[in-house]
Amino acid sequence: MHAVITVIGKDMVGILARVSTICAENNVNVVEVTQSILHDLFAMIMMVDISKCSVPFSELSDRLSSLGDEMGLTIHTMHEDIFNSMHHI
Amino acid sequence: MINSHDILETINMIDNENLDVRTITMGISLLDCIDSDAERACGKIYDKICRYAGQLVKTGEDISKDYGIPIINERISVTPIAMIAGACPGADPIRYAKALDRAAHTVGVNFIGGYSALVHKGFGPGDYALMRSIPQALSETELVCSSVNIGTTKSGINMDAVDRMGQIVLETAKATADRDCIGAAKLVVFCNAPEDNPFMAGAFHGPGEPDCVINVGVSGPGVVRAALAKAGDCDITAVADIVKKTAFKITRMGQLVAQEASRRLCVPFGIVDLSLAPTPAVGDSVAHILEEMGLERCGAHGTTACLALLNDAVKKGGVMASSHVGGLSGAFIPVTEDAGMIRAAREGALSLTKLEAMTAVCSVGLDMINIPGDTPAEIIAAIIADEAAIGMVNSKTTAVRVIPAIGKKAGEELSFGGLLGGGPIMEVNRYSPEKFIRRGGRIPAPMQSLKN
């Protein structure tokens, strides 16, 4: 089961490190990472495997959101089904 | 791998364009709560709602968190209470309204619909008493919504009910005059009311529905407007295509949420209602979509054509995205709930007569319109009759939700707050329809052939 973590905001040192630390702490494996610049903003997209996640998904999502608040970034953690259903027939 | 453009597009829709699932509505049948003892019936109603919907709000919040989609409301619709109250003719129907209100508070939903009567062909047991109690019920409860169906394409229009409803709308506004007449904002008079509508204030659980069902209403006018803005100067064929594609994406999200809610609550999935439902928030307006199509203001000549295109394209895009579509499906035009309509009404660009024309091609009807407090009941009844006639002849749902602003005149404003918004009071035509309304009787069902 996969989830997508997106990080949008101003580029700075340690974004990838801190997001992946939270993943590692909760036994979430990072499957793929892409990053790009969107409207002058840093945008990172991580595909992660949450099937062995040690906490409920909503808790992981909360932890990442609060990291986002702390770093001044917008972090969304969403189940991959939402993208599959919206963009694929 | 999911395309990163798609991911960012979805996130942009949620963060900047107000994409959300407007409501997860659980429909609950109360037919097995009928009892000749009203007290016992109310006890059964309270227990059944709490048993079935106890986890509804929590499930909505969980899904919202898991998928990262805002889910704005969880609501309940129930069997029209007139059908339940008919079993105890001596009892005051108010006690049913209070039982619904208590249950809604206990399970934490923000509205419960179904204080309703279906009287399109005549009054059954319980109907008349329930209608008479609506002003008191809506003033003494907080979360209960009421609706009355007074006409259908197959049976015509019950003009006795229309006459009564004109008075009831006015009395409901008077009973809540101290709260900006909010009671009338929770009362809808329908023609061709759908039995599976998840949207308030007109939601009820029709007698043909299963014991319990999950219906989902999507939203997203902001997303449609942004997509049109991005497209720039394209022709109107391209505009229709953009609306269709956007509606498809929005509805897929609604379908996913509906299926997930149905799975988690172990309740069958009913329908997705493909509606563009505006809110007073900036960037969440149906009027702004029409303006994006090329009108200076909503209400200008051309508005009806733009709305017809929008309403149709939303359905075409949405139908393929969902396995079951129903409810009101289309574009809503509630004046006080739409920032663009509020502005157009304030500036005089949008009139009641133009709104009436728009209702012939939109999904509902004259919705959330403030009218002067001294409007006579028969004029309100005649507004209802006109609107019902449009619905009856065109085989579509129409409705009237007008709010007589007691003690106020055209040009002044009412403010309800929250999703109900607020806005200016619009003038009505003051010539009297009294003799027509007082005749009573039924307008016969229209021809279904010789369509001209």
Could you tell me the pLDDT band of residue B192, with boundaries at 50, 70 and 90? very high
Q: Which positions in chain A touch B65 (Cβ < 8 Å)? A: 57-58, 61-62
Kindly state the average pLDDT of the residues B161-177: 97
What is the structure's pLDDT at B225?
92
Could you tell me the pLDDT band of residue B444, with boundaries at 50, 70 and 90? very high
Contact A58 B65 (CB under 8 A): yes
- Per-residue pLDDT tens for B250-265? 999 999 999 999 999 9
Closest chain A residue by Cα to residue B252? A86
On the question of pLDDT at B396 being above 90, the answer is: yes
| Percent share of chain B, pLDDT over 70 | 100
Provide the CATH topology of domain A2-87: Alpha-Beta Plaits (3.30.70)
- Per-residue pLDDT tens for B336-395? 999 999 999 999 999 999 999 999 999 889 999 999 999 999 999 999 999 999 999 999
Contact B2 A4 (CB under 8 A): yes
On the question of pLDDT at B2 being above 90, the answer is: no
Q: Which positions in chain A touch B230 (Cβ < 8 Å)? A: none
Q: Which of A45, A79, A85 sits opposite B7 (nearest CB)?
A: A45
Closest chain A residue by Cα to residue B70? A78
What is the structure's pLDDT at A58?
87
Q: Which portions of chain A are predicted below pLDDT 70?
A: 38-40
* Tally of CB atoms within 10 A around B199: 29
Could you tell me the pLDDT band of residue B450, with boundaries at 50, 70 and 90? confident
Contact B66 A47 (CB under 8 A): no
In chain B, list all ranges with CATH 3.20.70.20.
Answer: 25-191, 216-437
Contact A58 B8 (CB under 8 A): no
What is the structure's pLDDT at B1?
60
What is the structure's pLDDT at A38?
66
Q: Which positions in chain B touch A64 (Cβ < 8 Å)? A: none
What is the structure's pLDDT at A42?
83
ipTM of the complex in this document? 0.85
Give me the total of CB pairs closer than 8 Å, taking one residue from chain A and one from chain B: 70
Kindly state the average pLDDT of the residues B403-428: 92
From the candidates B1, B3, B4, which should be mutated to test the interface with A, based on the most A CB atoms within 10 A? B4
CATH class of B216-437: alpha beta
| Percent share of chain B, pLDDT over 90 | 85
Contact B8 A43 (CB under 8 A): yes
Provide the CATH topology of domain B25-191: Anaerobic Ribonucleotide-triphosphate Reductase Large Chain (3.20.70)
List the domain boundaries for chain A: 2-87
Instruction: Give the span between the Cα atoms of B261 and B60, in whole angstroms.
Output: 7
B70 touches chain A (CB under 8 A): no
On the question of pLDDT at B224 being above 80, the answer is: yes
What is the structure's pLDDT at B14?
86
What is the structure's pLDDT at A11?
84
